[in-house]
Amino acid sequence: MIEQLFGSKTRVKLLRLFYSNPNRSFYVREITRKIDEQINSVRRELANLLNVGIITSDTTNNKLYYEVNQTYEYYKPLSQIFGNIKNSKSKESSNSRTVDPLKALGHIELALYTGRFT
């Protein structure tokens, strides 16, 4: 459904990637591997997002890196939409069932959380 709202499956995957990793830069080949899309569609959508100002680019060591533009005027609302969404191929199917990660563990009688609390 969100793909229909934003116009492109690749664009939505890119937004999920960038907003889930706001302090990280990616180069094109890395992006294509992470979102499992064709390089041509990735390049096209990167150009669109760059023109709008949602992402920025920088060249380092002869590689063009892209990252989310945290000064973009709609950064916060987009972050609220895409920052919490997990990449899932099964979401595209309306018949898919989501499994609660805790239910997948089965019956748990005791769970311990350890750490230093100061």
What is the spatial distance between Cα 27 and Cα 67, in angstroms, rounded to a whole number?
A: 9
Whose CA is closest to 69, among 84, 52, 59, 56? 56
Domains of the chain, residue spans: 2-104
Phi, psi of 7, rounded to the nearest 5 degrees: 90, -15
Q: Is the pLDDT of residue 116 over 90?
A: no
Q: What is the pLDDT of residues 58-88, one digit of tens each?
A: 999 889 999 999 999 999 999 988 887 654 4
**Which has more pLDDT, 20 or 85?**
20
- Portion of the chain with pLDDT greater than 90, in percent: 54
- CATH number for the domain whose boundaries are 2-104: 1.10.10.10
Enter the tokens of residue 20.
């889930």
Enter the tokens of residue 91.
């979401």
Q: Is the pLDDT of residue 91 over 60?
A: no
pLDDT band, very low/low/confident/very high, at 90 (cuts 50, 70, 90) = very low
Confidence (pLDDT) at 37: 94
The answer to whether the CB of 82 falls within 8 A of the CB of 19 is: yes
Residues 6 or more apart whose Cβ sits within 8 Å of residue 74: 54
